[in-house]
Amino acid sequence: MENEDWVYSKTVREHFLNPRNFLMGDESKFKYDAVGIVGNPICGDQMKMYIKVKDDVISDIRWKTYGCASAIASTSALSELAKGKTLDEALKIDAKMIDDYLGNLPKHKFHCSVLGHDALKEAIKNYRLEADKK
C-alpha cells in the first residue's frame, strides 16, 4: 500500500488498517441499545451501527461493515465522530463531515460516507422508537 497507486488519504488508510470501535466477533457480547442496518445493492456494501445510549448521549458505539476500504474507513471515522455526542448532535454528522474528516474520499467512493451516516440515523431512529414504547 505504500506505492503511488494508493488513491486514499493517510487518514483513510489509517482507519482502514486500524479501524476504531469495530465490533469483533459475536454481536450478542456487546450490549447495545439499538442497531441500524443499511446497504447499497449497487456496490454491495452493508453497514451495521450499534449504539449504547446513556442520558441521551452515545456512550459507546460499535459497527460492522461489509465493503471496501472507503466503507470501512468511513464507518470507523463516523464512530469516532459520534461517540460522546448527544443523539441530536450525532444526527448532525453528515456525509460531508465524514468525508472532510477522512481528508476526502475519491468522488466515486463518496457514497460510502453516506451509508455510514444512514446507518447511524437508522440506529438512532430505532433507539427512539423503543424508548417511546417504554
CATH of the domain at 85: 3.90.1010.10
Say what the pLDDT of residue 108 is.
75
Predicted confidence (pLDDT) per residue in 79-91, tens digit: 999 999 999 999 9
3-state class (DSSP) for residue 91: helix
Residue at 3 is within a domain:
no
Q: Give the Cα separation of 23 and 67 in Å (integer).
A: 15
Which residue positions in the chain have pLDDT lower than 70?
1-6, 41-43, 110-112
Residue at 2 is within a domain:
no
Which residue numbers are catalytic?
43, 112
Structural domain boundaries enclosing 123: 10-129
Number of domains in the chain: 1
pTM confidence score: 0.86
